[in-house]
A and B are shown apart, each in its own frame.
Chain A
């Protein structure tokens, strides 16, 4: 791996950049591996990297049906934050946020993690109560999250309309300064390059079509479009397709896949300094380094694998955005797209072992797993290496759907009475 640095960049400029090698070699599958990861999204690539880097398992393949990073990793609005309510969630997401810090250096790849702050707006008394609950819980968990008055919110994000006669007036907000964004593609590419440098095989255009189990039920390997690949350890990190892969192993999963859309505006000069989210008005937005306003929409109501959502969702999203930021009505929408998000009954992930020996899973991140990428990768790797979950991901087991120990952040935010 040729090191990335300003110095090497200048050096290469003098020979027209002909000396840069491949980020990752295009590998054909070997007959067997010590571990296989299904799905080359950020999570899967991260898991492969940490398996090799931290847990000493380098004979690893990441198997991807399309091109790496082309799933939700390459389709999301890249919001990163960790100010979740429950201890389990705060620990999980904060583990990731700690890894985000310094990830560029660790991977020698600028993933452009930008801590510009995530501001969540409170529009009614119920929001205020709920946000304060988060803030207090976060404080005692060592997670930064602070309360801002409406005026402070506007000072932090000048385009915000805080007039008291707004339909949903801003009563204040919860700000996590360490929250922000990162460049999604770079995250996938950075992990892929670093993993490949440690000996991980990245095998693209190779869908997993079956999972082979031995007489004792344990995992023996995966069937793919390019033949059988043996491994006693298989970690599935296939986002919206996870339940399909699990079915190949004979497991029914508490997952449903929904379309989720996002959109960007044309690029403009800097106008929007942070990330703003409003659950009550149903809008969230940031501005990319390129200058596009990056806007997340809601999920469609029905399950689908079509990667295509309905237009009225876009209408509602932009109405919500312009309700909070009325100066943007003349901005123009440049591109819309959809991803398929895998949603569990409590909208928290499943990360750990499965009833099948040697089969591990990382799924259910739904609309919010980008922020967890380094953490999820690390914890999946840990679990596969030790055949035992780490204490951070131990609560994210499948048993909770049986015993009722759900981790329901959305329910905790509750509904206005």
Chain B
């Protein structure tokens, strides 16, 4: 067939042809056509295959409600999008669309055998079978079912497109730019506030686009809106959902309607709109009717046929029959007839027809069958005719036709209303749920508030028929292949609420989200149960209104902008030195600095020996830092940390241990008192923000009487650690105003002075057990000072080292790392840090919890050292420890390895572990059962090197 394009009419541009392909075959249409209208114009009726039975399907609707005609659009490598609705795909030169869910082709789909056996696959069939033999479900049945299910193919390569996102604010947001929405926008614009008008279609106008009589008015209104300085009109933009406090999210499609050559910039844009008032003018969607054969290609909504004819200039057939239970079917029939589409007959179940409509139909020479219903559609891949019968049950008679239009009444689009938790009330006359009350500043206008002249009609479930429901093939949800009888079956099997029926039958759960099936399903259930609809319930609407790309949701949040990576000012020096990095919290940190041919173990061994024998340089800038200032600063820290702070002299440092109120360790760090009222705190790299937040909490809400100020200074200071016996010699020549001698500047002291001409806070601290300094300088000078120290260090054999070496060195000294040797369930005593708890302090955060029965009980896991019997065996971190390696599984585990390394300094492995009653087990041999065999180790104190601390005090 060809030549379904009407001689004139429509909004398509008949001077501009566009060529595209469908299933590989060359096709054409006019600029302004949708894929559906262009193909219909060529006589294509078959568009897709249904989900379950692979039944041939055509077009049902002309908009987003379309359940059947799903296509995959291929715009080149990485730009493949499945499951697009043909009526909503604008054509452009070079569009490649293919049909889906068929094998090998749309016309001959072998999987249509499912249809032959459909009697075996009613709703819920999978609950009843595929259970034998046991275990066959996931090996045999499930893989087959999965292959049969699914619509199009997923994209398989990375998407080269990018996506945009923005925020917008306005006094009035109008969703839907049909006549009611446009009128509301003009109104709001006159008020002077900011107005945003959005509509999902290619151009604004909504229903008016299918009504040439309104085009003049529409053009004028559009011009007015364009001229108004305070109105933003967004077409091709779908309001996805309404969220708290009039926050509406919308997605704008920017390039999918353009040929690849024209497409430039982001593909989609997410609008996050906060509006003073939201006006919903989302219109209404026509309801299909439920009768035998209502899914044959060529059976469609009357409103869709009208849109194809009047907006696109395409007849959906040469001889049409309208099946109506609503006046709008008559109006559409008349409009179509006038546009040159041949309406053979109007069949209406009602006997009382508005005389004006009946008269007009007769005048237009349309056959009228009032009191009749269609009982069957004949034809398989296209309509060949219908059978009709008086009241659906009397003797059948045949009518020839090649398309059937359904006018089942209208369902107001209340999705966003209901997202906003607006209540709905059932309206018997409309046979629909209508907007009732909302706690938001939100209102509905136009068709979605039924403030529109639709005429009147019946609200009906399935059309009456002689054939019993359980035998009929009348569809309710086209895409998911839910028949009226499935709903009957669900009810028969005891599913009585609509949510149950929906889930059991999958009615309304397809990609059209039930836009055409929900209410029919509800009505049918109500008929079968002989209960009012309101007792069966209401399915809730959930965002998004129509399916939306993941890309639009993530916007800029991808790749480098997904979670910005934090780097220190010294980071690129390390990069140039060939550092291997690790991610720690949001930072990347140099883990080790391999020389050519070195692996991690070799590099770390060399770095460790370098620090112990000469000096190492380490970038510690990621340490969290908080400046604590005020007359009550010491009192405040005293309450926060476990140890006493008031006695700390200015110029001295102290190791601080921070608990949660639950008594478990959450952070630690060395902090310095710079002046009676000023502390320089450090926290772990990952803990900085959390610790500051916690301190602010206590300060503001519990101890607001304390006069203290907290400032995050993490980014203000670059921190360069110099560790090793030569550390003093390296920095001495660069330092001004600080006496570095051991007597004047002991371990755990802090001094202020200058280095390389910039101010510094110099800490004498050590996380390695060696003589050590941490040079704090303003971050912008960090790189310069680092390079100066590096240059000076050359004379002393300085090595750069990374976090891995830092971990080994501190483990040799038994220093813990919070988060590695503790895990959120460890108390100070468990970690062997009882000495850091101020015994005489009446209170500190977490103190009371330390007195709880389980915390003071014996047998808690305690931090110990482990030395493997085989000095070269390195335990795996996380490995579990048992007392008896020969017991059967499940074994009684008494602890686990928290830290474990090969120590180059000691020439053997060392480990730290949390072991039940560990400190009472000194000298005991414990066992670590690994898949490859048991490793035995002796419990020792967690201190492997220089226990007297002579090096550190040097």
Do A and B truly interact? yes
Chain A residues with a Cβ under 8 A of chain B: 4-6, 8-10, 13-14, 16-18, 20-26, 66-67, 69-70, 74, 87, 91, 102, 104-105, 108-116, 123-126, 129-137, 139-142, 167-169, 180, 185-186, 189-190, 204-205, 265-272, 287, 289-291, 306, 308, 310-311, 314-316, 318-323, 326-337, 345, 400, 402-406, 408, 410-417
In the bound complex, do residue A110 and residue B550 qualify as a contact, i.e. CB atoms below 8 Å apart?
no
> Which of A70, A169, A329, A405 meets B554, CB within 8 Å?
A329
Contacts of A417 in B (CB 8 A): 584-585, 684-687, 817-820
In the bound complex, do residue B129 and residue A9 qualify as a contact, i.e. CB atoms below 8 Å apart?
yes
In the bound complex, do residue B470 and residue A331 qualify as a contact, i.e. CB atoms below 8 Å apart?
no
In the bound complex, do residue B893 and residue A87 qualify as a contact, i.e. CB atoms below 8 Å apart?
yes
A368 to nearest B CB, angstroms? 18
**Other than the known A135-B878, A333-B549, A417-B684, what 19 A-B pairs have Cβ atoms closer than 8 Å?**
A4-B129, A5-B128, A9-B120, A26-B494, A110-B127, A110-B137, A113-B138, A130-B878, A136-B878, A169-B583, A271-B156, A322-B558, A326-B159, A332-B81, A332-B550, A334-B544, A415-B686, A415-B819, A416-B584
- Complex formed: what's the CA distance from A287 to B147 in Å? 12
A268 and B152 in contact (CB under 8 A), knowing A74-B503, A311-B249, A415-B686?
Answer: yes
- Complex formed: what's the CA distance from A87 to B895 in Å? 12
In the bound complex, do residue B684 and residue A114 qualify as a contact, i.e. CB atoms below 8 Å apart?
no
- Give the interface size class of chain B: 35 or more
Closest 8 CB pairs of A and B: A411-B824, A291-B150, A133-B878, A22-B494, A417-B819, A132-B878, A404-B852, A332-B547
Contacts of B852 in A (CB 8 A): 402-404
- Complex formed: what's the CA distance from A291 to B128 in Å? 20
A16 and B550 in contact (CB under 8 A), knowing A102-B134, A110-B137, A289-B145?
Answer: no
In the bound complex, do residue B150 and residue A335 qualify as a contact, i.e. CB atoms below 8 Å apart?
no
Contacts of B150 in A (CB 8 A): 267-270, 290-291
Contacts of A139 in B (CB 8 A): 880, 889, 931
Q: Which of B239-247, B603-611, B864-872 contacts A (4 or more CB under 8 A)?
A: B239-247
Looking across the interface, which residue of chain B has its beta carbon closest to that of A146? B931
- Complex formed: what's the CA distance from A77 to B128 in Å? 22
- Complex formed: what's the CA distance from A24 to B244 in Å? 39
Contacts of B818 in A (CB 8 A): 417
In the bound complex, do residue B126 and residue A112 qualify as a contact, i.e. CB atoms below 8 Å apart?
yes
Q: Can you name 17 A-B residue pairings with CB atoms under 8 Å?
A: A20-B493, A108-B131, A109-B127, A110-B127, A114-B137, A123-B583, A124-B584, A133-B879, A137-B893, A205-B497, A266-B511, A321-B550, A332-B548, A334-B513, A403-B852, A414-B824, A417-B819
Tell me, yes or no, whether B664 is within 8 Å of chain A by CB: yes
In the bound complex, do residue B824 and residue A412 qualify as a contact, i.e. CB atoms below 8 Å apart?
yes
Tell me, yes or no, whether B262 is within 8 Å of chain A by CB: no
> Which of B80, B494, B513, B855 meets A24, CB within 8 Å?
B494
A411 and B825 in contact (CB under 8 A), knowing A267-B150, A271-B154, A416-B686?
Answer: yes
| Most chain B CB neighbours (cut-off 10 Å) among A124, A186, A318 | A318
- Complex formed: what's the CA distance from A329 to B155 in Å? 9
Contacts of A168 in B (CB 8 A): 563, 583
A269 and B154 in contact (CB under 8 A), knowing A322-B551, A403-B854, A404-B852?
Answer: yes
In the bound complex, do residue B119 and residue A16 qualify as a contact, i.e. CB atoms below 8 Å apart?
yes
Looking across the interface, which residue of chain A has its beta carbon closest to that of B824? A411
Contacts of A328 in B (CB 8 A): 154-155, 550
- Complex formed: what's the CA distance from A364 to B565 in Å? 35
- Complex formed: what's the CA distance from A271 to B880 in Å? 37
Tell me, yes or no, whether B709 is within 8 Å of chain A by CB: no
In the bound complex, do residue A332 and residue B149 qualify as a contact, i.e. CB atoms below 8 Å apart?
no
Contacts of A290 in B (CB 8 A): 149-150
In the bound complex, do residue A140 and residue B893 qualify as a contact, i.e. CB atoms below 8 Å apart?
yes
Contacts of A131 in B (CB 8 A): 878
B934 to nearest A CB, angstroms? 11
Tell me, yes or no, whether B174 is within 8 Å of chain A by CB: no
In the bound complex, do residue A331 and residue B550 qualify as a contact, i.e. CB atoms below 8 Å apart?
yes
Per-residue CB contact flags for chain B residues 586-626 toward chain A (1 = under 8 Å, else 0) read 00000100000000000000000000000000000000000
- Complex formed: what's the CA distance from A111 to B129 in Å? 10
Contacts of A318 in B (CB 8 A): 550, 553-554
B142 to nearest A CB, angstroms? 6
A186 and B145 in contact (CB under 8 A), knowing A124-B583, A140-B893?
Answer: no
| Most chain A CB neighbours (cut-off 10 Å) among B550, B663, B824, B854 | B550
> Which of B151, B161, B470, B504 meets A291, CB within 8 Å?
B151
A414 and B819 in contact (CB under 8 A), knowing A268-B82, A329-B161, A333-B544?
Answer: yes
Chain B residues with a Cβ under 8 A of chain A: 51, 79-83, 119-120, 122, 125-132, 134, 137-138, 142-143, 145-147, 149-159, 161, 163, 241, 243-244, 247, 249, 270, 272, 421, 470-471, 485, 489, 492-497, 499-500, 503-504, 509, 511, 513, 537, 542-544, 547-551, 553-555, 557-560, 562-563, 565, 582-585, 591, 662-664, 684-687, 690, 817-820, 822-825, 849, 852-855, 876-880, 882, 889-891, 893, 896, 929-931
In the bound complex, do residue A18 and residue B554 qualify as a contact, i.e. CB atoms below 8 Å apart?
no
A414 to nearest B CB, angstroms? 4
Contacts of A108 in B (CB 8 A): 131
- Complex formed: what's the CA distance from A270 to B684 in Å? 44
Contacts of B849 in A (CB 8 A): 404
In the bound complex, do residue B149 and residue A291 qualify as a contact, i.e. CB atoms below 8 Å apart?
yes
> Which of B244, B542, B550 meets A335, CB within 8 Å?
B542
A324 to nearest B CB, angstroms? 10
In the bound complex, do residue A333 and residue B550 qualify as a contact, i.e. CB atoms below 8 Å apart?
yes
- Complex formed: what's the CA distance from A412 to B662 in Å? 14
Contacts of B584 in A (CB 8 A): 124-126, 416-417
A266 and B151 in contact (CB under 8 A), knowing A112-B126, A289-B142?
Answer: yes
- Complex formed: what's the CA distance from A29 to B576 in Å? 76
A269 and B152 in contact (CB under 8 A), knowing A104-B137, A132-B877, A136-B880?
Answer: yes
In the bound complex, do residue A22 and residue B493 qualify as a contact, i.e. CB atoms below 8 Å apart?
yes
A16 and B542 in contact (CB under 8 A), knowing A130-B878, A268-B153, A330-B81?
Answer: no
Contacts of A320 in B (CB 8 A): 562
In the bound complex, do residue B825 and residue A308 qualify as a contact, i.e. CB atoms below 8 Å apart?
no
- Complex formed: what's the CA distance from A207 to B127 in Å? 29
Contacts of B876 in A (CB 8 A): 132, 136
Looking across the interface, which residue of chain A has its beta carbon closest to that of B468? A16
In the bound complex, do residue A190 and residue B127 qualify as a contact, i.e. CB atoms below 8 Å apart?
yes
- Complex formed: what's the CA distance from A261 to B865 in Å? 44
In the bound complex, do residue B158 and residue A327 qualify as a contact, i.e. CB atoms below 8 Å apart?
yes
A158 to nearest B CB, angstroms? 9
In the bound complex, do residue B889 and residue A310 qualify as a contact, i.e. CB atoms below 8 Å apart?
no
| Most chain B CB neighbours (cut-off 10 Å) among A5, A24, A110, A134 | A110
| Most chain B CB neighbours (cut-off 10 Å) among A22, A133, A400, A405 | A133
Contacts of A326 in B (CB 8 A): 158-159, 558
Contacts of B893 in A (CB 8 A): 87, 137, 140-141
> Which of A113, A332, A403 meets B853, CB within 8 Å?
A403
- Complex formed: what's the CA distance from A74 to B502 in Å? 12
| Most chain B CB neighbours (cut-off 10 Å) among A22, A116, A131, A417 | A417
In the bound complex, do residue A408 and residue B825 qualify as a contact, i.e. CB atoms below 8 Å apart?
yes
- Complex formed: what's the CA distance from A182 to B405 in Å? 42
A270 and B146 in contact (CB under 8 A), knowing A141-B891, A167-B560, A328-B155?
Answer: yes
| Most chain B CB neighbours (cut-off 10 Å) among A24, A308, A400 | A308
- Complex formed: what's the CA distance from A328 to B81 in Å? 10
- Complex formed: what's the CA distance from A319 to B470 in Å? 46
Contacts of A123 in B (CB 8 A): 583
- Complex formed: what's the CA distance from A402 to B161 in Å? 55
In the bound complex, do residue B147 and residue A270 qualify as a contact, i.e. CB atoms below 8 Å apart?
yes
Contacts of B825 in A (CB 8 A): 406, 408, 411-412
